[in-house]
């Protein structure tokens, strides 16, 4: 093995192994603090610099927690399967760390990697992501089973049922993006969204994003889908019998999985590292990426502080009767509208392009008069060029400029585009509402009697 290879491997993996666990520490602090504020508390505020009275808003809390976890006694129940009990937290962490590799994070030091390490460039990164993140289910079942505790077992069973069910809408909502881009490569998906062409701005992308996020909550066992670790019912679920560092590993694995799945949501729908000021400072793309991840995680924390938990049957019904049909319908709609839109708009934009190319192609004919440019022609051509580049946002900008100047074809393009988008939004809304009416329980507030 050459020095080059080792350097590449280190450069590719060590940042992931350092950045995300430190972000985990910060997230635990953020979660504690945010939950505390939601609940009228202050949260950690004393654990700052040791041996001083400087609190630093409790920023030292994660470190203190970590130290505590390491020094706690590691308890293995007598009847437990010792090997599996040990392996489960490790197995929970590995897939979570592994799928981080598939995120199209562009670190500034990436240019020092000579290209022998190809982990980021996997052609089927999205499929790999789902395949490997599914392994976390096994770890959870392993933990639940190996603990020889009935609460753990119940938690494990719940986890398996829940994660298997929610994987389907998760995958199906990602399919929409894969369809639009025509690639499973995370990098290509990210590139397709540069210049604020985020898929979340399209109707089907928005629907898919919402479905994806809900399913991601269930995949990472976050409230309101935290049944596998439902405290009020089954103590701590599958990690009831874990203490000390093994528990910390589970905790770490869970948060890394949250990062990973939020990262995938960011990649698929929120434009990956896309954001402002990228031309002057390309390194900002990592910052935008992580900031978006934190945005999603903040929503997760907010939900945790707000919502009660679903029951098992309601959870399953929600996945199978609402999310699954809606995501399948969304794929159908995305295909229809995308290609309907594309056929119509592409023809018009080709016509625009043709109108300027035509004189040049027929320049041999002597008598041909140069056509007088229509008002807004230049902008329309820019729009058409952006359109062929699949840069919808740029195309929209230029077409609107052209339309403002009275360019008829641009107007028709914009009309068609917005018409189809509005239509598909309405159709999606109606569909969601209908499914909701079919699958929701009949629960509603009641009136009560009073005796004087």
Partner 1 sequence: MTQEITFWVLAVIAVLGALVAVRRRNLIHGVFALMIFFASLSGLFLLLLAEFIAAVQILVYIGAVGILLLFAIMLTERVTGDDARDITSRGSFWGWAAALAVLVVLLLPAIQGADLSQVAKPINPSVKALGQQMMEPYVVTLEVLALLLTAALIGAVAASQGGEKTKEDTDDA
Partner 2 sequence: MITAALNYELLQQEGLETSLLEISMGPHHPSTHGVFRMDVKLDGETVVELRPVFGYLHRNHEKLAENMTYLSSMPFTDRLDYFNSMTNNWAYALAAEKLIEVEVPERAEYLRVIMAELTRLVNHVTLVGFFINDLGALGTPLMYAFREREKILDLFEQASGARMMCNYFRFGGLRNDVPEGWLDRTRELVDRFPAFLDEYEQLLCENEIILSRTQGVGNLSRELAINAGVTGPMLRASGVNYDLRKVDAYGIYDRFKFRVPYTDGDTGDCYDRFMIRMLEMRESVAILKQALADIPEGDIIGKVSKVFKPKPAEVYGRIEGPKGELGFYLIADGTTKPYRYRVRPPSLINLTVLRDMCLGGKIADAVIILGSIDIVLGEVDR
Q: Which residues bind partner 2 (CB under 8 A)?
A: 35, 38-41, 150-151, 153-154, 158, 223-224, 226-227, 230-235, 304-314, 440-446, 448-452
Q: Determine contact, residues 266/293, Cβ cutoff 8 Å.
A: yes
What residue 164 binds from partner 2, partner 1, none (CB within 5 to 8 A, per partner kind)? partner 1
The partner in contact with residue 94, picked from partner 2, partner 1, none with C-beta cut-offs of 5 to 8 angstroms by kind, is none
Rounded to the nearest 5°, which phi and psi values hold at 185?
Answer: -80, 125
Neighbouring residues of 364: CB distance < 8 A, sequence distance ≥ 6: none
Minimum distance of partner 2 from residue 437's CB (angstroms): 13
Is residue 122 within the footprint of partner 1 (CB under 8 A)? yes
Nearest to 61 by CA among 26, 11, 87: 26
Q: Is residue 428 a contact partner of residue 334, using CB atoms and an 8 Å limit?
A: no
Shortest distance, position 151 Cβ to partner 2, whole Å: 7
Q: Are 259 and 23 in contact (CB under 8 A)?
A: yes
The answer to whether residues 108 and 286 touch, using CB atoms and an 8 Å cutoff, is: yes
Q: Which is nearer to partner 1, 184 or 192 (CB)?
A: 184
Indicate which single residue of 50, 52, 79, 366 sits in contact with partner 1 (rule: CB under 8 A).
Answer: 79
Which of partner 2, partner 1, none is residue 38 near (CB under 5 to 8 Å by kind)?
partner 2
- From residue 72, alpha-carbon distances to 49, 65, 66, 67, 245 in Å are 22, 10, 10, 9, 7
Our CB check for partner 2 shows the closer of 153 and 290 to be 153
Query: Of 45-53, 153-161, 247-255, 270-278, which segment contacts partner 1 by CB under 8 A?
Result: 153-161
Measured at the CA of 23, the angle between CA 294 and CA 33, to 5 degrees, comes to 70
Q: How far apart are CA 33 and CA 57, in angstroms?
A: 9
In angstroms, what is the minimal distance from the CB of 160 to partner 1? 6
Q: Which does 35 bind (CB under 5 to 8 A by kind): partner 2, partner 1, none?
A: partner 2
Closest to partner 1 by CB, 91 vs 211, is 91
Cis amide leading into 144 (omega within 30): no
- Can you tell me which of 20, 29, 120, 145 binds partner 1, judged by CB under 8 A? 145
Query: Which of the listed partners (partner 2, partner 1, none) does 450 bind, with a CB threshold of 5 to 8 Å by partner kind?
Result: partner 2
Given partner 1, partner 2, none, residue 41, with its beta carbon under 5 to 8 Å by kind, binds partner 2
DSSP string, 54-103: --GGGTTHHHHHHHHHHHS-----TTS-HHHHHHHHHHHHHHHHHHGGGS
List the one residue from 57, 84, 245, 416 that touches partner 1 (CB under 8 A). 84
- Which option in partner 2, partner 1, none does residue 231 bind, with CB closer than 5 to 8 A by kind? partner 2
| Residue 137 near partner 1 by CB under 8 A | yes
Distance (Å, whole) CA 125 – CA 263: 13
Q: Is 184 in the site for partner 1 (CB under 8 A)?
A: yes
H helices within 106-196, ranges in order? Answer: 125-133, 135-146, 150-181, 186-191
Nearest of 254, 239, 338 to residue 297 by alpha carbon: 254
135 binds, among partner 1, partner 2, none (CB under 5 to 8 A by kind): partner 1
How many whole angstroms separate alpha carbon 379 and alpha carbon 396?
A: 11
Query: Could you tell me how many residues of this chain bind partner 1 (CB under 8 A)?
Result: 27
Residue ranges binding partner 1 (CB under 8 A): 1, 79, 81, 84, 122-124, 127-128, 130-132, 134-135, 137-138, 141-142, 145, 148, 153, 157, 160, 164, 167, 183-184
């Amino acid at each position: 093995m050459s020095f080059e290879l080792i350097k590449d491997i280190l450069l590719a993996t060590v940042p992931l192994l350092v950045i995300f666990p430190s972000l985990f520490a910060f997230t635990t602090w953020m979660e504690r603090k945010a939950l505390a504020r939601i609940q009228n508390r202050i949260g950690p505020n004393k654990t700052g610099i040791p041996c001083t009275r400087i609190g630093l808003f409790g920023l030292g809390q994660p470190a203190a927690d970590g130290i505590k976890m390491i020094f706690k006694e590691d308890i293995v129940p007598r009847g437990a399967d010792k090997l599996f009990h040990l392996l489960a937290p490790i197995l929970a962490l590995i897939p979570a760390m592994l799928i981080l590799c598939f995120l199209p994070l562009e670190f500034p030091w990436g240019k020092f990697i000579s290209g022998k390490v190809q982990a980021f460039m996997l052609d089927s990164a999205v499929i790999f992501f789902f395949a490997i993140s599914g392994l976390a289910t096994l770890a959870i079942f392993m933990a639940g089973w190996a603990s020889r505790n009935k609460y753990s077992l119940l938690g494990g069973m719940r986890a398996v049922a829940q994660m298997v069910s929610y994987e389907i809408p998760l995958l199906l909502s990602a399919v929409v993006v894969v369809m639009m881009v025509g690639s499973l490569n995370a990098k290509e998906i990210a590139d397709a969204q540069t210049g604020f062409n985020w898929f979340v701005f399209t109707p089907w992308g928005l629907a898919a994003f919402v479905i994806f996020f809900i399913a991601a909550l269930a995949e990472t066992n976050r409230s309101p889908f935290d049944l596998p670790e439902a405290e009020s019912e089954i103590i701590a679920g599958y990690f009831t019998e874990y203490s000390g560092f093994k528990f910390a590993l589970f905790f770490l694995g869970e948060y890394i999985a949250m990062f990973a799945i939020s990262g995938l949501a960011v990649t698929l729908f929120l434009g990956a590292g896309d954001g402002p000021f990228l031309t002057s400072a390309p390194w900002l793309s990592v910052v935008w990426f992580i900031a978006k991840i934190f945005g999603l995680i903040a929503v997760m924390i907010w939900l945790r502080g707000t919502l009660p938990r679903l029951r098992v049957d309601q959870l399953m019904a929600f996945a199978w009767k609402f999310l699954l049909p809606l995501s399948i319908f969304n794929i159908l709609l995305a295909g229809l509208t995308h290609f309907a839109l594309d056929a119509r708009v592409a023809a018009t934009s080709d016509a625009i392009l043709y109108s300027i190319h035509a004189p040049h192609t027929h320049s041999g004919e002597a008598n041909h008069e140069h056509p007088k440019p229509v008002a807004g022609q230049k902008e329309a051509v820019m729009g058409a060029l952006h359109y062929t580049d699949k840069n919808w946002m740029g195309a929209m900008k230029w077409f609107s400029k052209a339309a403002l100047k009275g360019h008829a074809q641009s107007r028709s393009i914009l009309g068609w585009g917005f018409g189809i988008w509005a239509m598909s939004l309405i159709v999606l809304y109606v569909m969601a509402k209908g499914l909701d009416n079919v699958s929701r329980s009949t629960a509603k507030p009641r009136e009560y009697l009073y005796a004087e």
